[in-house]
């Protein structure tokens, strides 16, 4: 079961952070990851993926993998929440 939690945490971490990791490649990965959603729903979906990744990381047994996945998921969550804040409040029309 621990291998499943680790694999699921890695997959959801990649899904939540893929729009940042693959932004230099000419693939519209954001529309693939968010299922083509636009607006606020499309912005929140990567945050949901990173929260799920963090939850799976918390279910891992104590060890190196647990701490690494918790740190990576927390970092991805903070970055995604920062992007959500910028997208919602920074791009308002005057």
pLDDT digits 0-9 by tens, 21-32:
766 666 666 666
Q: What is the dihedral of CA 14, 20, 21, 23, to 10 degrees?
A: 130
What residue numbers bound the domain in which 37 lies?
A: 2-90
pLDDT tens digits for range 16-64: 887 777 666 666 666 666 666 676 777 788 889 899 999 999 988 888 8
Asked if pLDDT for residue 74 goes beyond 90, the answer is yes
pLDDT for residue 56: 93
- Where residue 8 falls among pLDDT bands split at 50, 70, 90? very high
pLDDT for residue 23: 63
Q: How many domains does the chain have?
A: 1
CB 47 within 8 A of CB 36: no
């Amino acid at each position: 079961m621990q291998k499943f939690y680790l694999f699921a945490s890695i997959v959801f971490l990649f899904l939540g952070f893929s729009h940042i990791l693959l932004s230099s490649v000419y693939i519209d990965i954001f529309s693939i990851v968010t299922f083509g959603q636009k607006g606020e729903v499309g912005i929140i979906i990567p945050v949901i993926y990173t929260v799920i990744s963090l939850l799976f990381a918390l279910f891992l047994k104590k060890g190196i993998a647990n701490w690494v996945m918790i740190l990576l998921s927390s970092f991805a969550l903070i970055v995604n929440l920062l992007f959500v804040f910028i997208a919602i409040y920074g791009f308002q029309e005057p």
